[in-house]
Chain A
Amino acid sequence: MAATSATGEMLLSARDIRKSFGGLTAVSDFTVNLLPNEIVGLIGPNGAGKTTVFNLLTGVYKPDSGAIELCGKSTLPLSPDRVTACGLARTFQNIRLFSNMTVLENVKVGFQSRIQSGLYTSLIRGPKFRHEELRIDEQARELLRLLGLDSDADFLSTNLPYGKQRKLEIARALATSPKVLLLDEPAAGMNESESANLRDLLVQVREQFKLTILLIEHHMPFVMGLVGRLLVLDHGVTIAQGTPAEIRCNPAVIEAYLGKEEK
């Protein structure tokens, strides 16, 4: 299923990555291969190492061993901002917006890695600068419109309601024009209709931007209806992978979530 031999097709691949903090092995021998345009779920009990995987993939942590490749290029020597420039974007589990900046400005920061106008032309407000700022403004507003935030553009991001803050995180990540989007619990704290709404949105976004999505989520109906396949982590170890239907009746997964059945 996952390990297709068509290496050229893989967008993001991580092989046997391992990370420990002191004596605790947070992630061990984690392998994932993401193909273009697929949605993959990453689930597991609390503390299973899911967010650590995201931090490893985005370059925030460097793995102790293993390899990570984005579009066939190793990202290990790159700092997180370079990884983003190569086409990897993420959102955060605990919302981390730039709270003293407006909604629009938050999205505009996402265009940072593609800024063309240098310092000098920005200081003298040259034509190149003006042209680029107008283009960014247009594109940022377009993203806000897509996520239904256009009427909130000039609010401070901290004044947005929770659900909209989550959407703003996605808009900001999309602004980096990613090929792969990592979503850390995008539906956390949302009710049924909101998460259904978000699911439609993600499908639409994937089509429109030709995205590959890897998402962490605890909300099972949400994950099961959205993803093509799932990876299950427990204590840093990948205990199962497969389609939602396979995972749902996998004994190892049930044990990880619910504990062993008493004989």
Chain B
Amino acid sequence: MDVDRLISYWGHHIIMMCVWLTLTLSLNLINGFCGLFSLGHQGFWAVGAYAAAVTTIYFPGHGWAAFLLSFPAAMLASAIFGIVVGLPCLRLKGDYLAIATLGFSEILRNLIQNSETLGQSLGLSIPNLVRSSVSERRNFYFIYIALAVFIVALTLIVLRNLIHSAHGRAIKAIRDDDRVAEILGVNLTRYKVLVFVTGAAFAGLAGALFANYNSLVTPDDFNFNAGVLMVVMVVLGGMGSFTGTVAATVLLYFTPVLLSLFLPNTKVPVFYDPTQGGVVYREVKELWQVLFSVLLIIVVLVRPQGIMGGREWRWPWRKPGVRRIS
């Protein structure tokens, strides 16, 4: 077996999974912990990706400084976009908020698609510093895997510490009953904007990782389907559970990967159509969409609270209650 091919194949999927983990973990803060149903997370992701791309391309010197700067720049740009979207939208609730956030991200995608500086539909190519400065291809993947894992760990630690603090209690209280939370002294606007901005900033970080790794960003990477997939991952895992979000993201990311890896060119009978000459066969990986919908229907029927249902995984040897302060 060719080791380099193995490393680039799995390396790619591990890095992309980390991008998705950062996205779903930050979306879980907004949708799961604070109960603000956002369908526009792909918009924050896009802002981050394009901000990182523009920084890497246009920052004088095009050197490592530009590369390193692109990550905080992406977070900042997304956070600002979070405030711009958040302040008007957070007066809305439930479905209305979902539609408004979706609207914003679609408007943004259309703006990018029509902007010449941002490369329209063809997107932006980003000089890949890491790739051009390492001698061996596998080292490129090792560097990015390390970076991606670091970003996921950072996201997880920051969000966990936020949730397990007084601020986290305020956020969860807003999810359960925002009017009562307000009566108990929680500043609704402040915390809703905080949640939106924090979620957006980490989506931006995921965007920076994606843009720099992929060397190419196009508007279509951030379409509605990507947004829905994120929401499905969060809902499937269990709203307001870090463990659930991680589990569902890994599961949903790797199932199609494994399907096409282990069952390549395997055709299965799908339906009978005499006009197409009898039984129609399809490749297994094409059936992923069907499998995905069936899985979702089963979860909604059998376990509407998701895999973890708001609970967290705890090592069996750790006693309940001593785990955390809050």
Interface residues of A (CB under 8 A from B): 58, 60, 79-81, 84-85, 89-90, 92, 96-101, 105, 108-115, 117, 119, 122-125, 129-130, 132-134, 136-137, 154, 172-173, 175-176
Contact = CB atoms under 8 A, between A and B. Distances in A.
B170 A133 contact: no
Contact of B185 (A85, A96, A105, A134): A85
A92 to B, nearest CB: 7
Contacts of A96: 177, 179-180
Contacts, number: 105
B149 to A, nearest CB: 20
B161 A122 contact: yes
Given A111-B166, A113-B184, 12 more contacts: A79-B182, A81-B184, A85-B185, A97-B177, A98-B172, A100-B176, A101-B173, A105-B172, A110-B185, A172-B184, A176-B184, A176-B185
A123 B175 contact: no
- Residue among B165, B185, B310, B321 having the largest count of chain A Cβ atoms under 10 Å: B185
B204 interface: no
Given A105-B326, A125-B161, A154-B320, A117 B185 contact: no
Contacts of B179: 60, 96
Given A79-B182, A176-B184, A176-B185, A100 B165 contact: no
A81 B161 contact: no
A173 B310 CA distance: 26
B177 A115 contact: no
Contacts of B158: 123
A164 B194 CA distance: 33
B182 A109 contact: no
Contacts of A119: 162, 167, 194
A119 to B, nearest CB: 6
Interface of B is mostly: helix
A111 B169 CA distance: 10
Contacts of B184: 81, 84, 89, 109-110, 112-113, 172-173, 175-176
26 contacts: A79-B187, A81-B183, A81-B186, A81-B187, A81-B188, A84-B185, A85-B185, A92-B180, A96-B179, A98-B176, A98-B177, A98-B180, A101-B172, A101-B176, A110-B184, A112-B184, A112-B185, A112-B186, A113-B185, A114-B185, A115-B166, A123-B165, A124-B161, A129-B165, A133-B166, A173-B184
